[in-house]
Amino acid sequence: MGFTTADFYQFSNPTDWIRHFGKDSDKRLLATLWWNWRHRNFYCIDEQQKQIHYLITSIHQAIIDMKSIYPDHNYPLKVPRMVQWLRPNNELVALNVDGGSLGNPGKAGYGGLLRDNMGSWISGFMRSVDISNNLHVELMGLLYGLQLAWDMGFRKVICYSDSMDVISLVHGSRPNYHHYMAIVLRIQDLIHMDWEISINHILREGKFCADYLAKKGATSTSTFTILDYVPYELKHMLFFDAIGTWYARS
């Protein structure tokens, strides 16, 4: 809420306290109090338990709305960048991939998932890698994600990765002397097969589900695993993506 010390409340009247801190250009206090009160009403009146992602997104949106209605010209307007999962059109399947290491290099893993235009789960995958670096597992995640989509018979796919390095490598010329040349060449060969495939950049906040699978792969001991079911911990993330939830760019 913007407080940095434990003695932030030094008013005898809570109304005076709200009026004092409500003048702050950030508007975090007012937005957070308002949505805490709304969350309490949702629960007490309608028995609705809102998820934390919903509350955070709503607070950020309330801050934006208050700043636009009551601008403070003494301060620059700081509007957070909002990001969401990108839904494919009716003919396409969305492939989100990711890879990461616990240390660079370190214990690593990669993973990804396929979804339809409604955001529904089609399939997923993950794998543990003993010791590696971020670029290696990002490339491996893309390679095995594309291979899974092809093997399942999908011929119109839009793929998203948050690694600009990976996208630059696979869209560039054939890297004859790159350390991961063999992986890049396999990806390029897949791209040039008889299907409609595009590989695009997405910010990290737009692919939380793939990020979860990559981390789960990194912390597991499994070999390459295809997931025909939705992992329990992933169900709420899929739901929020499917309804178009926006996330503030950190």
In this structure, the answer to whether residues 143 and 187 fall within a common structural domain is yes
d(CA 36, CA 43): 11
How far apart CA 117 and CA 88 sit, in angstroms, is 5
Residue 19: which pLDDT band, with cuts at 50, 70 and 90?
low
On whether residue 8 sits in a domain, the answer given is no
| Amino acid 105: pLDDT | 83
Same domain, 27 and 146: no
Q: Are residues 232 and 122 in the same domain?
A: yes
Could you tell me if residue 22 is inside a domain?
Answer: yes
Instruction: Please report the pLDDT score of residue 193 as a whole number.
Output: 97
Q: Identify the domain boundary among 60, 82, 104.
A: 82
Report the alpha-carbon distance of residue 95 to residue 149 in Å, rounded.
Answer: 8
Residue 143 lies in a domain: yes
Between helix 181-191 and helix 134-151 the angle, nearest 10°, is 30
- Per the domain annotation, does 88 fall within a domain? no
Give one word for 200, left, alpha or beta, with left for phi > 0 and alpha for psi -120 to 50. beta
**Average pLDDT in the 56-74 region?**
75
Q: Which bin fits 233, alpha (ψ -120 to 50), beta or left (φ > 0)? A: alpha
Q: Over pLDDT 90: what percentage of the chain?
A: 56
Q: Where are the beta strands (DSSP E) in the chain?
A: 82-83, 93-102, 106-115, 121-132, 156-161, 196-201, 225-227, 247-248
The better pLDDT of the pair 78, 244 is held by 244
Q: What domain range includes position 212?
A: 93-245
Span 197-221, average pLDDT: 94
Q: How many CA atoms lie within 13 A of 23 on its CB side?
A: 6
Instruction: Label residue 236 by pLDDT band (50, 70, 90).
Output: very high
In this structure, are 62 and 107 located in the same domain?
no
Is residue 186 in a domain? yes
Q: Tell me, yes or no, whether 184 and 67 share the same domain.
A: no
Q: Where among 50, 82, 114 does a domain terminate?
A: 82
**What are the pLDDT digits (tens) for 29-44?**
778 887 888 887 777 7
pLDDT for residue 76 is more than 90: no
Q: For residue range 133-191, list pLDDT tens digits in order.
A: 999 999 999 999 999 999 999 999 999 999 999 999 999 887 778 899 999 999 999 99
| Total count of domains within the chain | 2
pLDDT at 4: 55
Within 10 angstroms of residue 91's Cβ, the number of other Cβ atoms is: 10
| pLDDT above 70 coverage of the chain, percent | 84
Residues 146, 51: one domain?
no
pLDDT at 102: 86
What average pLDDT does the segment 196-213 reach?
96
In terms of pTM, does the model score above 0.85? no
* Spatial separation of the C-alpha atoms in residues 34 and 80, rounded to whole Å: 19
Q: What is d(CA 141, CA 186) in angstroms, rounded to the nearest whole number? A: 12
Decide: helix, strand or coil at residue 237: helix
Q: What is the CATH number of the domain that holds 127?
A: 3.30.420.10
**Does the residue 87 lie in any domain?**
no
Report in angstroms the alpha-carbon separations of 148 from 52, 106, 170, 178: 33, 26, 18, 25
The chain-wide mean pLDDT, for the chain, equals 86
